[in-house]
Copies of this chain bind each other. A is one copy, B any other.
Amino acid sequence: MSKVNIKQLAKELNLSISTVSRALRDSYEISADTKKKVFALAKQLNYQPNPNASGLRGQKTKTIAVVIPEMVNDFFSLVIGGIEKVTQEQGYYLLFYFTHGDYELEVSFINTLANGRVDGVLLSMSRENNDNSHLLELTKNGIPLVLFDRVSDNLDSVKVTSDNYESAVTATRHLIDAGCKKIAYLQVHKNISIGKIRMNGYLDALQGSTQQHPLIVECSNENEETFETIEKMLVEERPDGIFASVEKLAVICYRVCEKINLRIPRDIKIISFSNLQTASLLNPSLTTITQPAFDMGEAAAKELLNIINKKSKSASKDKHVILKSLLMKRKSTSI
């Protein structure tokens, strides 16, 4: 344990502890000469202020918590990239927690944060439309909270999302414009709001432009089951367009098409909410509605740091930042 603290610096330099402390914080009441000496020794010994001590004293830790459902997921990986870029610039540390979509875990972790472990929290909810009292409690304890992607309307924290409704409309119109006469919508998590919002975009786009009837296919989290559901639907209904609400469904759909010899995009056109990474691996590559994941991370982190630093709680309450998604066509795709 050769850890260096202020005391040792003081002894070494024949100064008092408080002088050293002040010098390190570049206080105006310390002579340039003394400061120079202190800085030199601090650097030489790699002095690092004890974060527990300063956290205890000043009630700030330069740490923010990031609570997300999971990590093995390109979307959240990209979001984290954005968060990290912003926070790193300002010297913040990142405490991560993965809820695996488990509400109980989210609650217990958030409760754990009540007492000065972090300066703020970035959260994408594990489930929605639930009891949010743990989050209310958190903000009541003076810890700022910013929600992103999976947010809840009955919380007046700052929110950052992408334009799920508008982009679902865009995606559906894209299929219509490409000549599709019967467009199926592949749906999961029908009870989470982001799912509903996307579906509404699909429904409204259909209604607005043509006489098409909606064809909504409820899928599950079980890949095998979903495969069969989709296969059955394709055979029986013979749609010529597919709009997948999440990437995984599009991938399964590709597999089904292979099996039953439907050629993409000639026989059937597919579009999906998805990120960039995996979409271009498919053949032909998948046209997607891509959320600005990195930007979302950046935006959420910036909002949070604003609240933390400027304490402008009142100004930004109930603010909702909405980022624009992109329709992405890739080479070798012609839909």
What is the interface of chain A, defined by CB distance below 8 A to chain B? 1-5, 46, 48-53, 55-56, 61, 63, 71-74, 77-78, 80-81, 84, 93-98, 111-117, 137, 140-142, 251, 254, 258, 277-278, 281-283, 332
Name the distance in Å between A262's Cβ and chain B's nearest Cβ: 14
Q: Are A71 and B61 in contact (CB under 8 A)?
A: no
- Most chain B beta carbons < 10 A, residue from A5, A56, A281: A281
Of the candidates B73, B81, B141, the one whose C-beta lies within 8 Å of that of A1 is: B141
* List of B residues within 8 angstroms of A94 by Cβ: 95-97
Considering only CB atoms, which chain B residue lies closest to A283 in the complex? B283
Of the candidates B80, B93, B115, the one whose C-beta lies within 8 Å of that of A48 is: B115
- Most chain B beta carbons < 10 A, residue from A51, A63, A251: A51
Q: Are A141 and B281 in contact (CB under 8 A)?
A: no
* List of B residues within 8 angstroms of A51 by Cβ: 52, 115-117
Q: Are B50 and A53 in contact (CB under 8 A)?
A: no
CA distance A141 to B50 in the complex (A): 13
Of the candidates B4, B63, B93, B116, the one whose C-beta lies within 8 Å of that of A3 is: B116
Considering only CB atoms, which chain B residue lies closest to A293 in the complex? B72
Name the distance in Å between A6's Cβ and chain B's nearest Cβ: 11
Name the distance in Å between A85's Cβ and chain B's nearest Cβ: 10
Q: Are B95 and A95 in contact (CB under 8 A)?
A: yes
* List of B residues within 8 angstroms of A71 by Cβ: 71, 77, 80-81, 84
* List of B residues within 8 angstroms of A52 by Cβ: 51-53, 55-56, 61, 116-117
* List of B residues within 8 angstroms of A53 by Cβ: 52, 56
* List of B residues within 8 angstroms of A55 by Cβ: 52
Q: Are B46 and A111 in contact (CB under 8 A)?
A: yes
* List of B residues within 8 angstroms of A283 by Cβ: 254, 258, 282-283
A-B interface, 8 closest residue pairs, ranked by CB to CB distance from nearest = A52-B55, A48-B115, A52-B56, A281-B281, A1-B142, A72-B77, A52-B52, A48-B114
Q: Are A4 and B115 in contact (CB under 8 A)?
A: yes
CA distance A98 to B82 in the complex (A): 12
* List of B residues within 8 angstroms of A72 by Cβ: 74, 77-78, 81, 277
- Most chain B beta carbons < 10 A, residue from A3, A4, A61, A78: A3
Of the candidates B2, B50, B96, B258, the one whose C-beta lies within 8 Å of that of A96 is: B96
Considering only CB atoms, which chain B residue lies closest to A138 in the complex? B46
CA distance A112 to B113 in the complex (A): 22
22 sampled A-B residue pairs with Cβ under 8 A: A2-B140, A3-B114, A3-B116, A3-B141, A4-B115, A5-B115, A46-B111, A48-B111, A49-B115, A50-B115, A51-B117, A52-B53, A52-B117, A63-B95, A71-B71, A72-B77, A73-B77, A81-B98, A95-B96, A278-B278, A281-B282, A282-B283
CA distance A48 to B117 in the complex (A): 10
